């Protein structure tokens, strides 16, 4: 069965939260200290996505199961989030979500997309054509400073 990409609805909030939590706890754990992972995952709840329908959030769905989600800020030309469930890693959902967000950005006149990549995802984005700009420290909450990689990609016309 094919993976489809569609806009998220408020019914997807629990599944989106679980995907993000699992990706942080399993995938991001490979590159960040356990203390940071615990604080980071602990910030999430379905309420984090209370306004899911007002943001540009899409999900990757296969056979009724959500495999991942991505969020685009069209006004800022920025990918705010891209997470795939560890169970579905390496099966193409991340690429499908990223392509969709890039197409959406392009259709809104965005010529260059930026993002803050986690350390574990840098090579994924590099393969997709994103250039490393700088290593940055990003304070998510007062108790959590994450080291991330600022990356950019010029979108073809
Ligand atoms: C990064 C992430 C979104 C990739 O999603 P995915 O569905 O596993 O990616 P895909 O299956 O589309 O992989 C595309 C290609 O990138 C490669 N790839 C995937 N993750 C990679 C990684 N971390 N490092 C290097 N290569 C990677 C795959 O092997 C694949 O290569 P191929 O085209 O030669 O087969 C996913 O691993 C994830 O959610 N990670 C945790 C959350 C995270 O860090 N998100 C980024 C926040 S900015």
Residue nearest atom 16 of ligand 1, based on CA coordinates: 124
- 12 domain residue, yes or no: yes
Scan for tokens 């705010």, then name that residue. 80
- 8 domain residue, yes or no: yes
Identify the CA nearest to 131 among candidates 118, 141, 122: 122
- 155 domain residue, yes or no: no
Both tokens of residue 66? 């959500």
Domain containing residue 106: CATH number: 3.40.630.30
pLDDT of residue 133: 98
Q: 66: domain range?
A: 3-110
**Cβ atoms of 117 and 78 closer than 8 Å:** no
CA of 120 to the centre of ligand 1 (A): 9
| Closest ligand 1 atom to Cα of 19 | 39
Domain count, the chain: 1
Q: With 80 as the cut, is the pLDDT of residue 1 above it? A: no
Q: What is the pTM of this model?
A: 0.94
Q: Which residues pair with 61 in a beta bridge?
A: 4, 66
- 100 domain residue, yes or no: yes
CA of 123 to the centre of ligand 1 (A): 8
Mean pLDDT over each residue of the chain, to the nearest integer: 95
Count of Cβ atoms closer than 10 Å to residue 38 Cβ: 14
**Phi, psi at residue 24, to the nearest 5°?**
-65, -50
At 113-140, the pLDDT tens digits run 999 999 999 999 999 999 999 999 989 8
Scan for tokens 């602990």, then name that residue. 42
- 17 domain residue, yes or no: yes
Identify the CA nearest to 92 among candidates 124, 46, 138, 49: 124
- 26 domain residue, yes or no: yes
- Between 49 and 103, the more confident residue is 103
pLDDT of residue 47: 87
At 31-79, the pLDDT tens digits run 999 999 999 999 999 888 888 889 999 999 999 999 999 999 999 999 9
């Amino acid at each position: 069965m094919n993976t489809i990409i569609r806009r998220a609805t408020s019914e997807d909030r629990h599944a989106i939260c679980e995907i993000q939590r699992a990706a942080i706890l399993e995938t991001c754990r490979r590159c960040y200290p356990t203390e940071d992972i615990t604080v980071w995952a602990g910030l999430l709840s379905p309420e984090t996505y209370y306004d899911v329908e007002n943001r540009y959030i899409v999900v990757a769905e296969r056979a009724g199961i959500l495999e991942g989600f991505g969020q685009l800020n069209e006004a800022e030309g920025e990918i705010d989030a891209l997470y795939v469930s560890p169970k579905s890693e390496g099966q193409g959902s991340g690429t499908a979500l990223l392509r969709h967000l890039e197409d959406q950005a392009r259709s809104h006149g965005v010529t260059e997309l930026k993002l803050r990549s986690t350390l574990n995802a840098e090579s994924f984005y590099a393969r997709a054509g994103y250039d490393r700009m700088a290593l940055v420290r990003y304070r998510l909450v007062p108790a959590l400073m994450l080291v991330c990689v600022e990356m950019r990609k010029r979108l073809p016309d």
